[in-house]
Amino acid sequence: MKEKIIAPSLLAADFGNLQRDIEMVNQSEAQWFHVDIMDGVFVPNISFGMPVVSAIKQHAKKTMDVHLMITNPDQYISTFAKLGATNLTVHYEACSHLHRTLQSIKNEGMKAGVALNPHTPVDLLKEVIKDIDIVLVMSVNPGFGGQSFIQHTYDKVMRLKQLIIDQNADTLIEIDGGVTTENAAKLIKAGADVLVAGSFVFKAENQTQTIKDLKTLANA
Ligand code: DX5
Ligand code: ZN
């Protein structure tokens, strides 16, 4: 079985000590950095923009997994490629021409991800699943860290996994929102490959150990 991935979300880091928190992730067993971009329009919150992403890139030594919670993401694809994103995920709900958007992301040399809000059915990806490297399943409503996990996510992940198997695709399933050691193992069992964790990691007393705990559960 392929190794399951832990992606700490920097949204929950201490921005006054961002370099310190990035180094913690560098030294940990996590494989990806999850970077949340919010525009205050697609979601009711603003996170941070390009200068901060560029600062993150200077220190982060691992895969940069960028999650765009913005309207009109096409406008910024090449910008994020230049900023050093490895994976670029756009929201299904923000794209009128998703197939074209996916091709543009890949043409810029990045892995292409599609995020689904909690109300968006997985079936809507049926015609494009083979073109998607990562499906990010939102397990909270996007916009804020620290929210509680939506239980319906397990069923949704199982349906998505089946869709991927049926079409013989090699798409990864990423879960974002409210991930803890309580739900990690069950999410993996349902079919998840990547677990994003913000508050659970950064609010923990021992952050490195918390990442290790999540990774052990995910790979048990
Ligand atoms: C929410 C973001 C998440 C967020 C997760 O809109 O997409 O990546 O950082 O935070 P937690 O793990 O605290 O729910
Ligand atoms: Zn995210």
Domain boundaries along the sequence of the chain: 5-218
What does the pLDDT read at residue 146?
97
Strands 194-197 and 172-176: parallel
65 phi-psi bin (left φ>0, alpha ψ -120 to 50, beta other): beta
What percent of the chain has pLDDT above 70?
100
Average pLDDT value for residue range 13-38:
98
Q: Spell out which residues line ligand 1, taking CB within 6 angstroms.
A: 9, 11-12, 34, 36, 67, 140, 142-147, 176-179, 196-200
Rounded distance from Cα 136 to ligand 1 centre (Å): 12
The 10s digit of each residue's pLDDT in 75-89 is 999 999 999 999 999
The 10s digit of each residue's pLDDT in 163-220 is 999 999 999 999 999 999 999 999 999 999 999 999 999 999 999 999 999 999 999 9
Residue 65 tokens read as 């997994």
Intra-chain end-to-end CA distance of the chain, in Å: 11
What does the pLDDT read at residue 37?
98
Is there a catalytic annotation at residue 133? no
Torsion of CA 126, 40, 138, 61, to 10 degrees: 100
The 10s digit of each residue's pLDDT in 33-49 is 999 999 999 999 999 99
Rounded distance from Cα 127 to ligand 2 centre (Å): 24
The two most distant CA atoms of the chain are separated, in Å, by 46
Average pLDDT value for residue range 140-167:
98
What does the pLDDT read at residue 49?
98
Rounded distance from Cα 65 to ligand 1 centre (Å): 13
Q: Are the C-beta atoms of residues 157 and 188 closer than 8 Å to each other?
A: no
Is there a catalytic annotation at residue 36? yes
- In the block, which residue shows the tokens 């009711």? 44
Name, in order, each residue with C-beta under 8 angstroms of 151's C-beta and a sequence gap of 6 or more: none
Distance of alpha carbon 101 from alpha carbon 35, whole angstroms: 19
Average pLDDT value for residue range 124-140:
98
Distance of alpha carbon 215 from alpha carbon 7, whole angstroms: 10
Q: For the domain made up of 5-218, give the CATH fold.
A: TIM Barrel (3.20.20)
Distance of alpha carbon 220 from alpha carbon 42, whole angstroms: 37
The 10s digit of each residue's pLDDT in 89-106 is 999 999 999 999 999 999
Segment (H or E) for 162: helix 153-166
Q: Other C-beta atoms within 10 Å of 211: how many?
A: 24
Catalytic pick among 65, 131, 133, 176? 176
| pLDDT level of residue 1 (50, 70, 90 thresholds) | confident
Q: In this structure, what DSSP letter does residue 94 have?
A: G
Average pLDDT value for residue range 59-63:
98
What does the pLDDT read at residue 58?
98
What does the pLDDT read at residue 78?
98
Catalytic pick among 21, 36, 39, 213? 36
**Per-chain mean pLDDT for the chain:** 98
Q: Radius of gyration over alpha carbons of the chain, in Å?
A: 16
β-strand partners of 9: 34
Distance of alpha carbon 14 from alpha carbon 123, whole angstroms: 38
